[in-house]
Structure 1
């Protein structure tokens, strides 16, 4: 079945084209203070609202994409099954036909992973958040994982340019016996051009909840260099790239996962640490470095460690 035949919205999803669907109901003040009208191509104009809604289900011995709705500039390719160690796992690439994120852009991504299904999600390239004179840009990501489901969301890094204002919210709703592996990487700007933390605001929220809506854990990030230094202790500590990695699961003891991540990352030469998530629902790790290739390699190492512990298979090279 081709993607054109799947071009329908998964059942029960809200109308994706109403502003309430793609507009954040709340913004941190670091971004909210920039909210304004946009003189050219205002919010809601063609190409300013990107929608991607995917549903995956277990069919036989593999997971398949069973429903799809996409609105430019967001779209996806046909899922690939290239991992010989896990042949039933689809690798879905989230794409954008635009060159990057600009002022007034509003993106929303919804992914449903059904009972017993497993899927890996990534992006084709870094997300570039361009300079802004008015308003801000935002992306809402909603991930729903059913009983026994397994979802990996490991996008490429985000690069906030000079004067950019960006808010991202990742909301996860997962069954008690599901597993979710998440990773996010943020650069301090276009480092090769000497830009370091010259953006106006980069803010992100991660919230993971159970099927009853009860919060499992949350991890907010607020970077606004003009308001408060982001290079001191307890922030980026003088580094230019930060990666966050989370594994939420009950398949292995949380302390075992955290110790494995700590042992693996301690040999990278980067500033890194790992710990147990609240309620011993899994483990997290944070990685700091001066170059994106080094941090990306360390995050891949963390992913490989988790894959081997949870599924007994290695993490493949995603650039195959």
Structure 2
């Protein structure tokens, strides 16, 4: 039932979006909302004894997940999960849904196996719905690798977050240009990338919402006030109790160093919700490093555990 509900919601998501009104035609190869193009993944984490486990999982192709691993030596009780797509990328007509639930006192780290590539589209668009819920005293790190929208792609993503006032969520998204040194489609040349994030407390009280729709063909992203000279955008949201929020914010130093290819800074979210951190860089590695520094401050403050050494290949 939960898969059917989520897939029905993501199917309606793009049909009602005004920015996608021009791309409602169906792909001639394989229509949207058909098996193989409507992926679903449910991850349910719970506390069992001295550690948390991936207790509940459901998936529909092309969504897949690797077995939970415990590779983080700094938090050996935390399951680390890699999400996988059997199609290797996001294609026109794809409708994808993700549900993550973290039970009371549980923790988890969720990421992707690699960057998410959104392929060029001649028809229709791709849409994604993410629903994240955290119970009392739970902790989740949701840190996917960068998303790379190819030339001529259209993508809409909506994230709905519900959490207990004592829970903590570190949520990250990175948007990177594709083959920026390729003259034919270098830099940002997609048709549309739209993101909507909404968070509320478990009782229904709104914390914040953020929405942006990027259309570089109509409004180039290298304009002043958007991305300027940078090619990679990082957006991080930390939802956590005020005692953690203030301590994390005190450790963050904003910077603007375009000659070094990096700019970043943090602001408070409304309604005592947490912190929003944004980074711009010339290269993905620079934005990843800025996010890692914020991640380190958040984890050490909330859990008391340091970050493990980064993988050499990530």
Instruction: Say whether the fold is shared (TM-score over 0.5).
Output: yes
Confirm whether residue 262 of structure 1 aligns to residue 257 of structure 2.
no
Distance 1:243 1:272, change over 3 A: same
Q: How far off its partner does 1:38 sit?
A: 1.6
Confirm whether residue 307 of structure 1 aligns to residue 296 of structure 2.
no
Counterpart in 2 of 1:200?
191
Confirm whether residue 294 of structure 1 aligns to residue 294 of structure 2.
no
Answer yes or no: is the 8 Å Cα contact 1:24–1:140 preserved in 2: no
Distance 1:256 1:24, change over 3 A: farther
Task: Choose the corresponding residue for 1:190, options 179, 184, 187.
Answer: 179
Distance 1:305 1:15, change over 3 A: closer
Counterpart in 1 of 2:275?
283
Confirm whether residue 107 of structure 1 aligns to residue 109 of structure 2.
no
Q: How far off its partner does 1:280 sit?
A: 2.5
Corresponding residue pairs, total:
307
Task: Choose the corresponding residue for 1:55, options 37, 44, 67.
Answer: 44
Quote the Cα distance in structure 1 between the aligned partners of 2:21 and 2:310: 36
Q: Deviations over 1:174-198 (max 9, x none)?
A: 0111101011100133224241121
Answer yes or no: is the 8 Å Cα contact 1:28–1:203 preserved in 2: no
Confirm whether residue 223 of structure 1 aligns to residue 214 of structure 2.
yes
Distance 1:273 1:28, change over 3 A: farther
Counterpart in 2 of 1:250?
241
Superposition TM-score, scaled by structure 1 size: 0.90
Answer yes or no: is the 8 Å Cα contact 1:261–1:285 preserved in 2: no
Quote the Cα distance in structure 2 between the aligned partners of 1:207 and 1:85: 31
3-state SS, counterpart of residue 31 of structure 1: helix
Quote the Cα distance in structure 1 between the aligned partners of 2:239 and 2:297: 14
Answer yes or no: is the 8 Å Cα contact 1:76–1:94 preserved in 2: yes
Q: Deviations over 1:135-177 (max 9, x none)?
A: 0001111111011111110000000001100011111110111
4+ residue stretches of structure 1 with deviation over 6 A? 266-269
Distance 1:166 1:269, change over 3 A: closer
Counterpart in 1 of 2:225?
234
Alignment gaps of 5+ in structure 2? none
CA RMSD, 1 decimal: 2.0
Counterpart in 1 of 2:11?
23
Distance 1:317 1:170, change over 3 A: farther
Superposition TM-score, scaled by structure 2 size: 0.91
